[in-house]
């Protein structure tokens, strides 16, 4: 029987989501990585910026290991949701490098502490374990990687977890039509 290493398992899923998020920027223009494609302003570079702060907060500051270079979005005089979009003076390189450094810092926290290590989120009541925090970061990063997948598909049709799209079924030209017809038929039956 193969033994499981819960910390290593969680870290594999976290790293996978991190890589998905970053490749969604590949090959796109400055405008495309920044432009809002939902009514709430969701954009690719903003998702990376947001997660840089999340890594710094949850897997840094919460365990007494502050990360320099990434302001936490809930501190100071920050504009609401300022972590979810990039100002014109913030470069793609600055934000992606900050994210990579925050992830490396988070990985050091994960390596240094046992899963039952206890931390505290700044400004939040109660304590949290590294296990719960790591689980949260896997869910948070995977959630935003899913957002990025949809945004990227809207930009140029690229989908999936990898640039080669091997984890997505081959495109059937009538798939969208079948889904639309089923939706209309179901709506008509229930009206």
Which ranges in the chain belong to alpha helices (H)?
6-23, 30-34, 44-58, 92-112, 130-156, 175-189
Closest CA to 115 of 3, 7, 5: 7
* pLDDT < 50 regions, the chain: none
- Alpha-carbon distance of 144 to 141, in angstroms, equals 5
**What pLDDT, on the 0 to 100 scale, is given for residue 41?**
94
Q: Over the stretch 2-52, which tens digit does the pLDDT of each residue have? A: 788 999 999 999 999 999 999 999 999 999 999 999 999 999 999 999 999
- Alpha-carbon distance of 138 to 140, in angstroms, equals 6
Closest CA to 48 of 3, 100, 9: 100
**What pLDDT, on the 0 to 100 scale, is given for residue 61?**
93
**What pLDDT, on the 0 to 100 scale, is given for residue 160?**
79
**What pLDDT, on the 0 to 100 scale, is given for residue 102?**
96
At which residue do the structure tokens 């959630």 appear?
Answer: 143
**What pLDDT, on the 0 to 100 scale, is given for residue 83?**
86
**What pLDDT, on the 0 to 100 scale, is given for residue 165?**
62
Burial tier of 113 (Cβ tally within 10 Å: 0-12, 13-18, 19+): buried
**What pLDDT, on the 0 to 100 scale, is given for residue 176?**
82
**What pLDDT, on the 0 to 100 scale, is given for residue 159?**
86
């Amino acid at each position: 029987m193969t033994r499981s290493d819960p910390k290593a398992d969680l870290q594999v899923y976290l790293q996978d989501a991190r890589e998905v998020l970053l490749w969604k920027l590949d090959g796109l223009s400055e405008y495309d990585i920044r432009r809002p494609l939902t009514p709430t302003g969701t954009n690719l570079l903003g998702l990376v910026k947001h997660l840089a702060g999340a890594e710094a907060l949850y897997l840094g500051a919460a365990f007494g290991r502050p990360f320099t270079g990434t302001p936490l979005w809930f501190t100071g005089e920050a504009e609401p949701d300022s972590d979810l979009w990039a100002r014109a003076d913030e470069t793609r390189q600055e934000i992606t490098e900050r994210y990579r450094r925050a992830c490396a810092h988070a990985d050091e926290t994960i390596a240094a502490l046992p899963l039952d290590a206890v931390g505290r989120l700044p400004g939040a009541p109660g304590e949290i374990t590294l296990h719960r925090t790591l689980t949260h970061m896997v869910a948070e990063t995977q959630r935003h990687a899913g957002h990025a997948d949809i945004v990227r598909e809207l930009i140029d049709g690229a989908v999936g977890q990898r640039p080669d799209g091997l984890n997505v079924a081959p495109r059937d030209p009538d798939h969208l039509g079948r889904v639309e017809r089923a939706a209309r038929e179901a709506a008509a039956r229930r009206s």
